[in-house]
């Protein structure tokens, strides 16, 4: 048996905020595709189907589980948007310095949470 180099795996890499941001980007994108799109289509369909269908949507969306889903979808949107903008910057070739990359990654994760909180505060308070 020959000694061959091992493939990198999670036991080799030191966990960092850039890894969390990358994983959350994938999770939020999947959440938008598998939960956000059906909710959006259900909302649009209920709007097109008349007042009774829309009231049915509002009753379910306004319930505790419905609100949890809507907050989760809005977090997924803002988080995916923030980390997507980070990826645009990285695609240009900027932001690869270790301290910059970590700082921007933490800002992306924080901005997803902050933008979601501001969004829901605006909806619920105004």
Residue 120, domain member (yes or no): yes
For residues 126 and 122, give the distance between their C-alpha atoms in angstroms, rounded to a whole number.
Answer: 6
Residue 28, domain member (yes or no): no
- 80 is an annotated ligand-binding site residue: yes
The model's pTM: 0.88
Residue 118's CATH number: 1.20.1300.10
What range does the domain containing 107 cover?
35-125
- 94 phi-psi bin (left φ>0, alpha ψ -120 to 50, beta other): beta
Q: What would the pLDDT profile of 56-104 be if each residue is shown by its tens digit?
A: 999 999 999 999 999 999 999 999 999 999 999 999 999 999 999 999 9
For residues 70 and 40, give the distance between their C-alpha atoms in angstroms, rounded to a whole number.
Answer: 10
- Sign of the CA dihedral running 34, 37, 57, 63: positive
Residue 102, domain member (yes or no): yes
For residues 89 and 2, give the distance between their C-alpha atoms in angstroms, rounded to a whole number.
Answer: 42
CA-based nearest residue to 106, from 25, 15, 20: 20
Residue 83, domain member (yes or no): yes
Q: Where are the alpha helices (DSSP H) in 32-97?
A: 37-49, 51-61, 64-92
Residue 22, domain member (yes or no): no
- Please say if the pLDDT value at position 6 is more than 70: no
- The per-residue pLDDT for 93 is 93
What confidence tier does 43 reach under pLDDT thresholds 50, 70, 90? very high
Q: What's the total number of domains in the chain? A: 1
């Amino acid at each position: 048996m020959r000694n061959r180099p091992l493939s990198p795996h999670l036991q080799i890499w030191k966990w960092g905020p850039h890894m969390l941001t990358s994983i959350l980007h994938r999770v939020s994108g999947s959440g938008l595709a598998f939960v956000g799109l059906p909710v959006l289509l259900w909302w649009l369909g209920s709007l097109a189907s008349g007042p009774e269908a829309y009231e049915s949507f509002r009753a379910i969306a306004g319930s505790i589980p419905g609100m949890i889903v809507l907050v989760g979808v809005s977090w997924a949107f803002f988080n995916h948007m923030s980390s997507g903008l980070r990826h645009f910057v990285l695609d240009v070739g900027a932001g690869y310095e270790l301290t910059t990359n970590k700082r921007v990654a933490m800002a992306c994760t924080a901005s997803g949470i902050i933008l979601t909180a501001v969004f829901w505060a605006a909806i619920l308070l105004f």
